[in-house]
Structure 1
Amino acid sequence: MTRKAKKEPHEKLLVIACGMIAREVLAVKSQLGLDHLELTCLPAEFHFYPDRIAPAMDEAIAKAKGEGYDRIFVGYADCGTGGGLDIICQKHGVERMDGPHCFAFYQGTAQFMASGEADMLAFYMTDFLCRQFDAFFIRPLGLDRHPELIPDYFGNYEKLIYLAQTDDPALDEVAEGAAKLLGLTYERRSTGYGDLTPSLAHQAGMTK
């Protein structure tokens, strides 16, 4: 079991997060007035290379501790590491976000688990993935040059679910366009920051 560090209000807290949620962590920090929260991120592209997350986190935590940070929170769920990230958290005595991935904690992990069967064939998008749709999906997969490959990559999905952290018509347009391009039915869920807000509040000493 991970050793939980004692939380004192306004004691400096370092969050080492996935680059895909950096904007959201900073938004929660601003909303809650967490001036004592500091953020550093691992590359967002690790979303596609989950085997790199645990080793990189191991190095990042060790570096942070060497720089004098006593309280560290891991801004990742398991994120495809197959328990590897939990081993690193246990090694260093730190905690991480609950749940299997950000698509779960944005919705609320309990809600995600409850709707798991219905969403089994869903392709998820977030605000970040809407902003980076071309850079993260279209160009790396070569779909800008070979759109005929879309069924090969996305043919097993039935719907695209946009988990919206904010109300931004431009992002809505991207998500709807992505669903049309990929040949998927479209659903928008306004989630806000989900479990990220209470988790950061707890780690920052605002709640018990």
Structure 2
Amino acid sequence: MTFADDTTLTRAGLPPQGRGRVLVLACGALAREIKALTRLNGWDHIDLACLPAILHNRPERIAPALRKAILRHRPNYDTILIGYGDCGTGGAIDALCAEFGIERLPGPHCYAFFSGTAAFEADGEVTSFFLTDFLARQFDAFVTEPLGLDRHPELRDAYFGNYETLVYLAQTDDDALTARAEAAARSLGLAFERRFTGYGDLADALASA
């Protein structure tokens, strides 16, 4: 399996030459989990290319970046799987998938497919703020600093006043990550809950590919 950040555009319109190879074109927040699953299952026909995870802070930019990456890689692969949920794009990723005849991961975002999409949608936890392993590692870079909470902690309640619980969806058993997630909950003034999900629906989606 290979891994690369994907930001450039090359010519398109050629037939796939991948000879059975699959590309997962994914959010960088899922790179560790996708690499782990492909290694554990011996999926040597799957390659991985990732867009920067920070695009989640500007979801209107995700679909255009995916379009460039699809056009770049399509000549070299028989199958491309989009490693995103809807991710706040308002259906833009689904429209892109329909245009190119490809599929994406199930559910609205990574919290859903780690939990299991059906279970997540049934629970409807609107007062819960979710972290994954990635966000537990990168909480300051993806939450604290972009929201300005390091400079203006008084904004915390404006952003998080309607939440009650920080739910850590753990892909691995890692005491250090659990401690980081608990610290994040304290910083936001929220109750803490840890749920071990493993890889959830992500494993099934890759297996189908």
Q: Same fold (TM over 0.5)?
A: yes
Q: Partners in 1 of 2:173 and 2:194 — Cα distance?
A: 11
Query: Are 1:52 and 2:65 matched, yes or no?
Result: no
Superposition pairs of residues 27-46 of structure 1, within 5 angstroms: 27-46=36-55
- 1:101 equivalenced with 2:109 (yes/no): yes
Q: 3-state SS of the aligned residue for 1:78?
A: coil
Check whether the contact 2:114–2:200 (CA below 8 A) recurs between aligned residues: yes
State which of 81, 85, 88 in structure 1 corresponds to 2:96: 88
Per the TM alignment, residue 125 of structure 1 is displaced from its structure 2 partner at its CA by: 0.4
Structure 1 alignment gaps of length 5 or more: 1-9, 204-208
Q: Determine helix, strand or coil for the equivalent of 2:129.
A: strand
Larger RCO (CA under 8 A, 6+ residues apart): 1
2:179 to 164, 173, 177: 173
Residue 69 of structure 1, CA deviation: 1.6
> What is the deviation of 1:141?
2.1
Q: Does 1:20 align with 2:26?
A: no
Distance in 1 (CA, whole Å) between partners of 2:148 and 2:108 is: 28
Equivalences for residues 57-68 of structure 1 within 5 A: 57-66=66-75, 68=76
Counterpart of 2:157 in structure 1: which amino acid? P
State the distance in 1 between where 2:207 and 2:78 align: 17
CA RMSD of aligned residues (A): 1.2
1:157 aligns with 2:157: no
Deviations 1:16-71 (A, max 9, x none): 001111111101111111111100011101111111111111111111013x2221
Q: Which residue of 1 aligns with 2:201?
A: 195
| Equivalent position SS for 1:30 | helix
Gaps (5+ residues) in structure 2? 1-18
Give the TM-score taking structure 2 as reference length.
0.88
One-letter code of the match for 1:24? E
2:36 and 2:71 mapped to 1: Cα distance? Answer: 26
* Structure 1 stretches of at least 4 aligned residues deviating more than 3 Å after TM superposition: none
**1:174-201 deviations in whole A, cap 9, x for unaligned?**
1111111111111111000100001101
C-alpha contact (below 8 Å) 2:20/2:77 kept by paired residues: no
Residues in 2 aligned to 1:111 and 1:16: alpha-carbon distance in whole angstroms: 25
For residue 78 of structure 1, what is the amino acid of its counterpart?
A: D
Identity, in percent, stands at: 57
- Offset at residue 138 of structure 1 (A): 1.5
Report the Cα distance in structure 2 between the residues aligned to 1:111 and 1:139, rounded to whole angstroms: 31
Q: Would you say how many aligned residue pairs link Structure 1 and Structure 2?
A: 191
